[in-house]
Structure 1
Amino acid sequence: MKRVWIDTDMGFDDLAAVLTVAQTPGWRIDGLSLVAGNAPLEVVIDNALRAAAYFGWDFPIHAGCARPLAGELVTAQNILGADAMGSAGRSLPPARAALADVDAVGALGCYLAAAGEPAALLALGPLTNIATLLRQRPELAARIAPLMWMGGSAGPGNHTAAAEFNAAVDPEAINAVLDAGVPLQMVGLDACRQVRVHAADADALRALGTDKAEVLADLLLGYVRIASSDGSLPMALYDPSAAAALVAPEGMRFRPAHVVAECQGEHTRGMTVVEWRVPRRATANALVASVADEALLRRVVLDALAQAARAA
């Protein structure tokens, strides 16, 4: 059994990513830590606890950092909606699971320290929780292998012309994680945009005819409509592509690179500067996703959503 801890700012694509891992045979989620990003922390918590109750998750869920290491929190609610789960119809039911008593940073620290071998982490939002932990307990960097992160970009951004959203929220956290020596695998915008989802995929989910199928189809269609209000254009699968790359590593090709986050630039704060010319110009400190197998990664994600939709 392969095991992973997931750190997330729970919106719909985060939910799809968690379901991708949860529904993949041979994988176990040991815990979920929550961070502000897509929405303020209290909204992220509500999303996660409602998802846990609806899908029957049995792993602990821990509340983490409510703001980035530096500066004020910027959310994606202007794009994703107030609850970061814009829907074409139904949403997650209001019933909530219980939140664990231990905060996310403490819980993740205990988890890593107790693991018999370096543990896999899947990060789907700003890296604030992980950076905060490593500032407090730098020795735990050696207990992480790998850290798969959906964030950054080796090309243009989406939050700004230069910066991807997760990176823009907390660029200081990126540098703290890299400086700690964590083996980072960065799945950025340029890789995720190679994997797309369509309105027809929501129709296929809906055709399964269950209550969960109806909810997931409405949420998926709401997500697709981010790209076009009528759903006629495909939408990139962001967080689920990183999850699929974790459970099906043959679906994503990575290249060694040196990555640093820009923290000062007036127009470039949050930009992930990727130096591909290693080792000639710099020493590699990360693996950066470059080529995605769209057919494979789509199948992994959509099959997982279908399995979740069929579950009692």
Structure 2
Amino acid sequence: MTPRKACLIFNPVSGSADPDQELERIKELLSTQFELDVQFTTEDVSADQLAQEAINKGDFEIVIAAGGDGTLSEAAKALGETTIPLGVIPRGTANAFASALGIPDTLDEACETILSGKTRRIDIGKCNGRLMTLLAGIGFEAETIEHASRDAKQRWGALAYLVSGIQQLRELELFEAEIETDDKIIKVSAGALTVANAAPPTSILAQGPAGILYDDGLLDITIISSNTWASAIAASYHLLQTGLRGDAAKRDDIGYLRAKRVKITTEPPQKIVLDGEMIGNTPLEVECVPGGLTVIVPMLPAEKISEKLEGLPDLEIEEKPPAIKNE
């Protein structure tokens, strides 16, 4: 059988293991089915640039990204709205993208997933003109990401975000938010808002609903309205527990809903983090692009509950009339 041509995008500075040994192991496993063209990211050459070059060449059947969440998300965004499948080999500190899709976090198992060739069309989002693979966070979520230092992430991995989050909770302040979807306008006091396309259980502030489906054509919006340090700690712990179990949140200071598109304005303006990158301040507009990315994945998502808003403080909901379609 003739090997299929694959572009392997490898980030040599991701993770803490020996990159040379990891690359050799990846090549050993994948060369049984693929003719690999290995490309390395650098400070000047990003994964999305390399993925776009692979697309432009037109002779690769698959693009494989090996690195942390930044590398994987960049490659995914380049391949968004194309038919070229993405193979994922997580080698970072958090590996949220792989975890959200159920992709194993060991080299051998991730490569076995790619060799299985089971592709699935998943959703992506368009967020303030950019493609989104995972989630956008406002308020507390953004502050947590911004203050988690690179050094802390290198030393502690995903725990760096937990440490940063605890520090930010001490400075928690509510803001006024207006959340507009196709069928309603919600006004509420919030400390954090998360709009998720896909998210693993460790993305705590996205875990309002019972599991985040990555191919349902909808976004998942979680609202956190805790107004004290103690209640915010309790809400975060509740979300961690329910997220790990795949249950929906039940606290009155946590709400959630699903929508194809959402616009969020806040007073005062709040910082926005998109897939781990700070992109500016609110307002935020996100639209789901159903089936916008093809990924090789090993599992199917489970069903979930769709909405809970009752109990949130200072809540106002205005139902919108159905949109009139032009004949």
- TM-score bucket of the superposed structures, by smaller chain: 0.3 to 0.5
Structure index of larger Rg: 2
**What TM-score do the two structures reach when normalised by structure 2?**
0.33
**What TM-score do the two structures reach when normalised by structure 1?**
0.34
User: Structure 1 or 2: larger strand share?
Assistant: 2
User: Structure 1 or 2: larger helix share?
Assistant: 1
